[in-house]
Structure 1
Amino acid sequence: MTGTRTLARPSRTGTAAVLVLLALLGAALWSVGELRLNVATLVDSAGNAADFLSRTVPLDFPPVAEVLGLCAQTLAIVVCATLLAVLLSVPVAVLAAGNTSPAPAARYGARALVVVARAVPDVVLAIVFFRLFGLGAAAGVLAMGLHSVGMVGKLYADAIEQVDEGPRTAVRSAGAGRLQELVAGVLPAALPAFVATALHRFDINLRISVVLGFVGVGGLGFEIANSLRRLDYQRGMALALVVLGLCVTVELISGAVRRALLLRTTGRAATPPPAGGLTPPWTARRVRAALYAGATVAVIALSAPAAGLTPAQLVTGAGQLPATLGLFWPPSTGGILPDLLAELAVTVQIALAATLIGALLALPVGAMAARNVAPAPGVAAAFRAVVVVVRGIPELIIAIVFVVITGLGPVAGALALAIGAVGLLGKLVADSLEETDVRVQEAVRATGASRLQVFTAVTLPQAAPALVAHLLYQLDVTIRSATLLGIVGAGGIGFYLLNASRVMQFGVVTTILGLVFATVMAVELLALWLRRAVR
């Protein structure tokens, strides 16, 4: 009948997405109960917490020269790993980006490489490289560098796809070839995003270096691991505090550089060159840029020898690669497949429970850190500082503390990851709330609505799709981290992974890697579908 209006029915995809989200919520609640994450557990552990504190203070800091040496070694390893990731990610991103890939097969192959690099835990890569290069920096640099391609390559490809096609078209119209188009018309426009991504990955690799210290990579993480194995909590926690200060300092510096890059690309235009000349004048901005570039080159040049990398070591290890890879094939269960599957289920439970608890903690923290939600600018700044500090604490350190307090098992892992989620998820929540339409909020506030009413009725619904996407991303990150925390006894399959590598059952390592890879890929595909469905 003409003129009849009907209500639009929700799509099947949208309904399915809601049902899946509800199922994930139910699984997370069940995991919290199954792992016994409750107030009673924390109350029972209060005595252990007091005992741990008494064994920790006063902190025992090493001599200043030793601390500076450890910091320099750690930073050198992280610089080399991040540089390796950038060098590998640029060609991968060019092949993966839709506007620069030479063929669909190349694009899909590069995208698959990025996914695989993200799915393989860096600890597993480190175990492989330890067989090739022995304990030390080389294994850590290669493990972190190759694993970082998963994140850096993806973000670089996204940056290339978002560049303005105008310069590239102009270069092409002048008769340039494909390589010249890329060098002159694409990469310069994507360079600020490349630098910002590299700085962000540097922050992440600094935290990862602490984890790899527990499997043999040198630096602060290695010394923390040795101290805790001796039950020397005074020295271990003192070094952990040094790591916290280093992480916060690096994050503040890299954040300032990223903001400067953003201002440079979105602010006023650069000073044009003088008439009849091609070289721009040496303004204060150009001098600063030259100084930054020179300092970067100097740091990179000093990092390789400071980390202890030598060409001879790399060449010798590369020659042993075929024989080493042969140790990991064929896969073997070692007669403990039921145990491996059970621990894999525990790892998933830890991730679900930690994501739920972390979200409950991160939402109020992120809301107070958002400038358009916090009652005063000072409150927003204070909560932003809390987020930065929490992000600066490596989750492995938090897990060790909870293992001592609550004992070995998944409770320690879930609590550590929940606190760690406050750092990442709190920042993402604050950013999403600040990106909402302030004009709508002001209009509702003008009608007499309170701050809480504006937040619940306008701000939160506007940010809801982004918040759901962030929660799915946090689940993805948490399930990877839950695997790694098992190496310090925080529950899950990571404990079996480390034991299998220590007793040289490399076939079992391959089986565990396959199980973790399949789980991570399933979670990533589910998250990708849900993110598309809730847009």
Structure 2
Amino acid sequence: MTSALLEQTGQTAPPPPRRPRPRASTTAAAAVLLALLAAGIWSFVDLGIDVAAFVTGAENAASFIARMVPLDFPPLGETISLMAQTLSIVTVATVLSVVLGLPLALAAASTTATHRWSRWSSRSFIVVMRAIPDLVMAVVFFRWFGLGAVPGILAMGLHSIGMVGKLYADAIEDLDHGPMEALRTAGASRRQQIVSGILPLLLPQLTATALHRFDINLRASVVLGYVGVGGLGMALAEALNTMDYQRGMALAFIVLVMCMVVEMISGAARRSLLGRSPERRRGLLGLMDRMADGWVTRPVATHEPQHLSSGRIRTAPPWDAERIRRTAAVAVTALIIALAVLGSEIDPGSLVGSLAHIGDTLGLFWPPSAAGSWDDLVQAMLMTIQIGLAATLIGVVIAVPIGALAARNVAPNAVIANIFRSLIVVVRAFPELILAIILIVMMGLGPVPGAIALGVGSVGLLGKLVADSIEETDIRVQDAVHATGASRMQVHMAATVRQALPALVAHVLYQLDVNIRSATLLGIVGAGGIGYYLLNANRVQQFQTVTLILLMILAVVLALEIVSAWIRRVVA
């Protein structure tokens, strides 16, 4: 009755009052956050990150630059071959993650899951795939399939399910399910409901997430080069292991340029997919629009059936501009995937033959064993956690002001916002492993360069998330505070930060999760932590120790995931 009256008067119903959070939960969450902050400060001090470390690095910077200049780029043909191999591996891995992640997301989403147990098992598998670093998976798959592109593709593809599956499941739950309900009412099967009622609406988010994951996998391919994945990563690892810094830094520069170009292209594509403007577009899409205006028949909105020249009723959509674009996009995508499969040089015969030895291979990794080095492994795991905590602290201190200045509703003007947005893009494109290698050469082996590298790398993701969160705040609250005579800083602290605080807490916890998992990888280049023992156990074929290290990493990441999820629910 009330809602009907509101609709007749053109008013909207007020949102339901939020349930007050239990005071005990809020206090406990605040205590955990303070404990994490204290742990981050302790880790920063205990690892020895101080002014002396930066002074030492600055003093060695000139010597390092002298050793890397002039850059020694490979011949053009070799460079193109390495780039093509890297892009092929990354493309196939990303496609694999989408092919596997979409069915898992449909089984994990509450609106499309068939049973509660399927939703729980799918969600659990997604979390586990996200928790296991792709480097660890690559170590296992190299023992199983041998050298080649297959281990890297499987490692990146399966690990990517953790992100792709979760985002797809969340997107499915947020969709308008009116079309699916209409199809169900009309008697459509579950498959027809998904194909016609879910996938068309999900396609923009599906494509945008795949492009974002492609960016991440491109940077991850550099790390996997240290365990044998071909392409630029392997060439870079070989050059740096032999201290050929001129060639190594040249390859690192190529990787950096590739990451920046891919980031800009995929970012523009994601914005176009998720926020397409109804106005006439520019560039190639605009040209297709103008061409279509002249010779493509556009559909006319009518309830009457359309007839072909033969007199039959049209059952397929007409060849308008939008259908031409969709068909061209599908054809180009299929061609790129086909070329990537060919470029990755996957041997189907070898792949099938390796599957026959799965039992023997898995037997090498069980049961877990410390091989007499349990205390060393525990200490290394603790150091890995410290590196992640210290890196997150560094990242927060740097990223929060940069993210605030990159937000258009906080920056003094649009020029400042664009400058800091561009800075975030550059930092985000720089792989942390390359930065860690440079800092190790300048500062020496140990956890300090690893923590600094991850801290600076955090600015790329955390700065972007901070800027986006601040821009999403309600500007009316800021205007109200400003109307009371408050200064710019007072408005920022009282209105902007207060609104964005729950999102900022969630972003920092997510960055901590990312940094601890990344810290396990930097040990392979001498940045301390459990990664060194992981790579060493693989080299001496102590595969049972590899399993134990994997379980230790998994336990830490899952524990952090549980705590982070609980805090996000409390502060949201």
TM-score (norm 1): 0.95
Question: What amino acid is aligned across from residue 518 of structure 2 in structure 1?
Answer: S
Q: Does the aligned pair in 2 maintain the 1:117–1:149 contact within 8 Å? A: yes
Alignment match, 2:253: 241
* CA displacement, residues 255-275 of structure 1 (integer Å, 9 cap, x when unaligned): 11111111349989x975565
Q: Which region of structure 1 is more displaced relative to structure 2, 322-331 or 131-140?
A: 131-140
**One-letter code of the match for 1:462?**
Q
- Of the candidates 85, 105, 123, which is equivalent to residue 97 of structure 2? 85
TM alignment of 1:366-377, pairs within 5 A: 366-377=403-414
The 8 Å contact of residues 399 and 413 in structure 1, kept in 2 or not, is answered as yes
Check 1:334–1:188 CA distance in 2 against 1; reply closer, same or farther (3 A cut).
Answer: same
Residue 151 (structure 1) shift:
1.0
The whole-number CA distance in structure 2 between the counterparts of 1:320 and 1:188 is 41
In structure 2, distance between residues paired with 1:337 and 1:197: 40
Deviation track 1:235-281 (CA, whole Å, cap 9, x = no partner) reads: 1111111111101111111111111111349989x975565335444
1:477-529 Cα distance to aligned partner (Å, 9 max, x none): 00000001111111100000000000000010011111111001111111001
Shift of 1:67: 1.5
Which moved further from structure 2: 512-521 or 442-451? 442-451
Which residue, 405, 416, 420 being the options, matches 1:379?
416
Tell me by how many angstroms 1:446 deviates. 3.6
2:83 is aligned to 71
Q: Which one-letter code corresponds to 1:533 in the other structure?
A: V
**Counterpart mapping for 1:332-343 below 5 A:** 332-343=369-380
Given the alignment, which residue of 136, 141, 153 partners 1:129? 141
2:172 paired residue among 160, 173, 178: 160
Aligned to 1:3: none
More off after superposition, 300-309 vs 61-70:
61-70
Distance 1:457 1:60 in 2: 53
Q: Paired residue for 2:33, among 6, 21, 32?
A: 21
Checking the alignment, whether the CA contact within 8 Å between 2:509 and 2:564 is kept in structure 1 is: yes
CA shift in 2, pair 1:417/1:448, >3 Å = same
Equivalent residues of 2:21, 2:570 under 8 A apart: no
- Partners of 1:460 and 1:44 in 2: CA distance: 37
Which residue is equivalent to 1:399? 436
Contact 2:29 2:567 in 1 (8 A): yes
Query: Is 1:263 aligned to residue 275 of structure 2?
Result: yes
Report if aligned partners of 1:192, 1:265 keep a CA contact under 8 Å in 2.
no
Distance, in Å, in 2 between the alignment partners of 1:267 and 1:200 is: 26
Q: Aligned partners of 2:21, 2:259: CA distance in 1, in Å? A: 50
Match of 1:324 among 341, 345, 361: 361
| Corresponding residue of 2:468 | 431
Matches within 5 A, 1:356-505: 356-505=393-542
Higher mean displacement: 291-300 or 438-447: 438-447
CA RMSD of aligned residues (A): 1.7
Tell me, yes or no, if the aligned pair for 1:273 and 1:281 is still in contact at 8 Å. no
User: Which consecutive unaligned segments of at least 5 residues does structure 1 have?
Assistant: 1-7
Cα distance between partner residues in 2 of 1:79 and 1:509: 28
Point out the more displaced range, 207-216 or 449-458.
449-458
CA deviation after TM superposition for structure 1 residue 450, in Å? 3.0
> 1:206 matched to which residue of 2?
218
> Could you tell me which residue of structure 1 aligns to residue 348 of structure 2?
311
Bigger Rg, which one: 2
Partners of 1:236 and 1:491 in 2: CA distance: 21
- Decide which of 202, 212, 216 is 1:190's aligned counterpart: 202
Deviations 1:181-205 (A, max 9, x none): 1111122211211111111111110
Residue number among 548, 556, 562 corresponding to 1:511 in the alignment = 548
Q: Is the 8 A contact 1:273 1:279 kept in 2?
A: no
Partner of 1:5: none
Is contact 2:439-2:449 (8 Å) kept?
yes
Aligned mates of 2:164, 2:424 — CA distance in 1: 23
CA positional deviation for 1:318: 1.4
Q: Counterparts of 1:216 and 1:110 in 2: how far apart (Å)?
A: 31
Q: How many residues align?
A: 527
Aligned-partner SS, 2:275: helix
Aligned to 1:214, the other structure's residue is in SS state helix
Change (3 A) 1:339 1:267: farther
Q: SS at 1:425's partner residue?
A: helix
Provide the residue aligned with 1:4 in structure 2: none
Which residue matches 1:102?
114
Query: Aligned equivalents of 1:310 and 1:408: distance in 2?
Result: 39
**CA-to-aligned-CA distance 1:150-179 (integer Å, 9 cap, x gap):** 111111111111111110111111111122
| 1:101 counterpart letter in structure 2 | A
Q: Any conservation in 2 of the 1:274–1:281 contact (CA below 8 Å)?
A: no
For residue 46 of structure 2, what is the aligned residue in structure 1?
34
Once the two structures are superposed, residues 338-391 of structure 1 have per-residue CA deviations (whole angstroms, 9 ceiling, x without a partner) of 000000000000000000011000011111111111111111111111111111
C-alpha offsets along residues 295-320 of structure 1, whole Å, 9 cap, x if unaligned?
11110011011011121121122122
CA contact (8 A) 2:57 2:439 kept: no
Rounded Cα–Cα distance in structure 1 between residues aligned with 2:269 and 2:60? 42
Q: Following TM superposition, by how much is the alpha carbon of 1:448 offset from its aligned partner in structure 2, in angstroms?
A: 3.7
Equivalent pair of 2:388/2:451 in contact (CA under 8 Å) = yes
Q: Which amino acid aligns with 2:550?
A: L
Gaps in structure 2 of 5+ consecutive residues: 1-19, 281-288, 290-297, 307-314
CA distance in 2, matches of 1:290, 1:39: 58
Distance 1:359 1:266, change over 3 A: farther
TM-score by length of 2: 0.89
Q: Is the 8 A contact 1:353 1:414 kept in 2?
A: yes
Answer yes or no: is 1:294 the counterpart of 2:331: yes
Q: Distance in 2 between matches of 1:369 and 1:259?
A: 17
In the alignment, the residues of structure 2 paired with residue 184 and residue 343 of structure 1 have an alpha-carbon distance, to the nearest angstrom, of: 51
Amino acid at match of 2:165: G
In 2, the alpha carbon distance for the partners of 1:533 and 1:347 equals 27
Aligned to 2:294: none
SS of the counterpart of 1:416?
Answer: helix
Cα distance in 1 between the residues matched to 2:21 and 2:144: 59
Amino acid at match of 1:150: G
Question: 1: distance between equivalents of 2:277 and 2:323?
Answer: 14
Give the match for residue 344 of structure 1. 381
- 1:97/1:272 CA distance change after superposition, 3 Å: farther
Q: How far apart, in 2, do the equivalents of 1:323 and 1:267 lie?
A: 60
Amino acid at match of 2:515: T
Alignment of structure 1 residues 114-153 onto 2, 5 Å: 114-153=126-165
Equivalents in 2 of 1:157, 1:384: separation in Å?
29
AA of the residue aligned to 1:452? M
Q: Which moved more, 1:49-58 or 1:524-533?
A: 49-58
Is the Cα contact below 8 Å between 1:367 and 1:373 reproduced in 2?
A: yes
Contact 1:120 1:513 in 2 (8 A): yes
Matched AA of 1:181: Q
**1:252 to 2:264 alignment:** yes
Name the aligned partner's letter for residue 340 of structure 1. Answer: L
